[in-house]
């Protein structure tokens, strides 16, 4: 099956998504929907997670990649496929190609996380590291396609891919028929377009709301302008939705089927990831946590029951470590301070005694004695503390100031 003959500017039909669902039977998992008591209490209505982070390859990307590659003509399959990606799309294309017996070449940036590179290779793709930014990697993949005749598999800007991603929406309606709001992360727009088409075609009363990172929010200005516009140098920890321009094909569908596109901050993203890990016991990457971030940022704005799509769970361990610390700081559970003390024996013990009284756990401490800004009898101490929330952070700061310390930040 292929949808290439359809004019992409006029989008897809529900039957295309249903056809993709049949094609994916036995290939993609029907991922679970799990409830969240904590978010339900904040929203005042049931909140559920659609756990695409537990999909094969760790994200929804397998769905669209498989449908796209399965729709190729025999001569196209014989030429092989090529893709460019820093992670999720790479793994989706690699596994889909392996399952369909198609040769896959995947270009990844030189700095791509090693676990993602290793996983893509293990799925059978020929991985080539090229470029330091995704644009350079993409250019290399497109050049390879021109030189070899391999079919370029776009991560979101193709009807077949969107039809595959839309199967997530069909599953949501089957698993949670009482749903009133669906929240979905948005990068190029393939998942939001497919989910919006599937959900709105069957249940026009359900709101479909897209979520973008503030530093990579190309859809709000594009929707306002009526056509895709470019965001120069998008910046966000959520690399899965770090896209500077909406795709032409998904943009038309998002215009028609997505009710609203909201933005979330980096603090909200890291707090959402931490909540998923601690409360739901689910490892979710920042892009996958973006719908949860929207719920945390404005919990009363959504009519329930709500389904938040956790689109992926592939996060580099080193990045995860930084994000968790950022999330703890955003939630008032991690506090960094610099302060001045008198450089004499016992001064540090006196300082730590103050922290003991207010029950702040010291994770790390360092001294600076040689900075020219310091007096002869002064030292600067940097502290990293585990705290219990914003109120406790204020209590720690007040206790230090009451004890005569100058808190620098």
Active-site position among 40, 50, 59, 61: 61
Alpha helices (H) along 203-333: 219-225, 248-257, 266-279, 290-297, 317-330
Cβ atoms of 209 and 262 within 8 Å: the answer is: yes
Query: Which is nearest to 219 in space by CA: 234, 206, 237, 203?
Result: 234
Facing residues of 210 across strands? 184, 261
Query: Is the peptide bond prior to 305 cis by the omega test (within 30 degrees of 0)?
Result: yes
Whether 116 sits among the annotated catalytic residues: the reply is: no
What does the alpha-carbon distance between residue 103 and residue 124 come to, in Å, rounded to a whole number? 8
Q: Give SS3 for 228.
A: coil
Determine which helix (DSSP H) or strand (DSSP E) holds 114, and give its type and residue range: helix 114-122
Whether 207 sits among the annotated catalytic residues: the reply is: no
Length of the chain, please?
A: 409
Residue partners of 258: CB distance under 8 A and separation at least 6: 192, 193, 196, 208, 209, 210
Active-site position among 36, 97, 271, 311: 311
Query: Which is nearest to 100 in space by CA: 27, 41, 45?
Result: 27
What does the alpha-carbon distance between residue 147 and residue 241 come to, in Å, rounded to a whole number? 29
Q: Give SS3 for 188.
A: coil
What does the alpha-carbon distance between residue 399 and residue 336 come to, in Å, rounded to a whole number? 15
What does the alpha-carbon distance between residue 90 and residue 88 come to, in Å, rounded to a whole number? 5
Integer-rounded Cα radius of gyration of the chain = 24
What does the alpha-carbon distance between residue 300 and residue 150 come to, in Å, rounded to a whole number? 49
Instruction: Report how far apart, in Å, the C-alpha atoms of 155 and of each of 68, 83, 189, 202, 384 are.
Output: 10, 8, 10, 26, 41
Strands 334-342 and 406-407: antiparallel
Strands 151-152 and 81-84: parallel
Catalytic residues: 61, 311
């Amino acid at each position: 099956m292929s949808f290439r003959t359809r004019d992409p500017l006029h989008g897809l039909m529900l039957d295309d998504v249903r056809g993709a669902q049949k094609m994916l039977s036995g290939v993609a998992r029907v991922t679970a929907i799990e409830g969240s008591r904590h978010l339900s209490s904040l929203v005042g209505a049931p909140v559920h997670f659609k756990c695409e982070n537990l999909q094969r390859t760790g994200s929804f990307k397998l769905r669209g990649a498989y449908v796209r590659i399965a729709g190729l003509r025999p001569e196209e399959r014989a030429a092989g496929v090529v893709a460019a990606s820093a992670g999720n799309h790479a793994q989706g294309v690699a596994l889909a190609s392996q399952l369909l017996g198609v040769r896959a070449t995947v270009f990844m940036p030189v700095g791509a996380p090693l676990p993602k590179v290793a996983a893509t290779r293990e799925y059978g793709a020929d991985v080539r590291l090229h470029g330091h930014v995704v644009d350079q990697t993409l250019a290399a993949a497109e050049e390879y396609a021109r030189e070899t005749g391999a079919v370029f598999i776009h991560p979101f800007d193709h009807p077949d891919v969107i039809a595959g991603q839309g199967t997530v929406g069909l599953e949501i309606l089957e698993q949670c028929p009482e749903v009133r709001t669906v929240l979905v992360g948005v990068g190029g727009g393939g998942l939001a377009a497919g989910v919006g088409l599937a959900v709105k075609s069957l249940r026009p009363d359900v709101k479909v709301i897209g979520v973008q990172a503030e530093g990579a929010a190309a859809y709000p200005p594009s929707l306002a302008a009526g056509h895709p516009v470019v965001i120069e140098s998008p910046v966000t920890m959520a690399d899965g939705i770090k896209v500077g321009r909406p795709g032409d094909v998904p943009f038309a569908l998002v215009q028609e089927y997505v009710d609203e596109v909201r933005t979330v901050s980096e603090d909200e993203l890291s707090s959402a990831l931490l909540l998923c890990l601690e409360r739901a016991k689910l490892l979710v990457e920042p892009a996958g946590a973006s719908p949860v971030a929207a719920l945390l940022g404005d919990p009363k704005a959504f009519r329930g029951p709500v389904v938040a799509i956790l689109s992926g769970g592939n996060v580099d361990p080193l990045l995860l470590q930084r994000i968790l610390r950022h999330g703890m700081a955003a939630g008032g559970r991690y506090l960094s301070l610099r302060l001045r003390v008198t450089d004499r024996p016992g001064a540090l013990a006196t300082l730590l005694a103050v922290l003991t009284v207010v029950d702040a756990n010291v994770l790390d401490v360092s001294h600076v004695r040689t900075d020219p800004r310091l007096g002869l009898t002064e030292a600067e101490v940097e502290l990293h503390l585990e705290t219990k929330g914003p109120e406790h952070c204020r209590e720690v700061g007040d206790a230090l100031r009451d004890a005569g310390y100058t808190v620098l930040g």
